[in-house]
Amino acid sequence: MFEEIDQLKNHLDKLRPLDPRLVKNQLNDLILRWTYHSNAIEGNTLTLLETKVILENGITIGGKTLREHFEAINHREAILYLLDIIQKNEPFSEWLIRSIHQLILKNIDDEQAGRYRTINVTISGASHIPPDHTSLIDKMTQFIEWYHSNARTLHPIERAAKIHAEFVGIHPFSDGNGRTSRLLMNLELMKAGYLPCILTVENRLDYYQALDDWMTKKETKTFVQIIADAELDALKQYQRLLGF
């Protein structure tokens, strides 16, 4: 499943360091598309162009809610925070997860930002029922302990997929779990030297179904394949740009 991905990554690694102008251009494109798709998956109605205008010009879009504007701005800030985390080599921790979530809900729900839920919730449209809120401390502690003990036995793509899916299964926050999980997934990919990948709103139904199957049937292959396909798309974009 990962052979072509690793071959392309090796080709890309041989060309590093890349031209700073290319890196800057690709980062701006990544921030825009990642922000648009991750928010759109959760129901944000901003178009790709509207998201671009907000992020690059700070212009308010008529007919769109203040929350939708903040979701775009906050997501960009969360991506920049991930890059800072990588540069500083900060360890994976509950504090890091809470900090990411706090950025996601900034100016949207400051009272709940970075705080585990104190109520029981359901995931709309999913068969999986998240754990009782009273068990969240234990669940998150186990999640972090798994990461620092057994996670390294997995291929980085599979590890990133598991981080995403298991986090969504725990659903520790009352809101913003999906965005946070995709940020955590890409943080792991980037830490391992892979490219961040974008899960598109066009594939939302397959994405949701694969996540639900992971949590209810322990069927993990489909979701891992979705992440692998997205990573392959990201690498092929660089292949086209650099001709390797």
Is-contact 54 46, C-beta < 8 A? yes
Q: What is the pLDDT of residue 123?
A: 83
Is the confidence at residue 224, as pLDDT, over 90? yes
Which domains are seen in the chain, by residue range?
19-242 (1.10.3290.10)
The single residue listed with the structure tokens 């800030």 is 77
**Which of 75, 101, 164, 171 does the annotation list as catalytic?**
171
Gap between the terminal Cα atoms of the chain: 21
The token duo for 234 is 């990201």
Q: pLDDT digits over 23-76, tens only?
A: 999 999 999 999 999 999 999 999 999 999 999 999 999 999 999 999 999 999
Is the confidence at residue 125, as pLDDT, over 80? no
pLDDT-derived band of residue 12, with 50, 70 and 90 as boundaries? very high
Is-contact 224 214, C-beta < 8 A? no
Q: Whole-structure pTM over 0.95, yes or no?
A: yes
Q: What is the pLDDT of residue 126?
A: 79
Q: Give the DSSP H/E element, type plus range, for residue 101.
A: helix 94-104
Each as own residue / partner, the long-range contacts of residues 218-221 (CB below 8 Å, 24 or more positions apart, any chain) are 220/161, 220/162, 220/165
- Across 149-177, average pLDDT: 97
Q: Is 69 a catalytic residue?
A: no
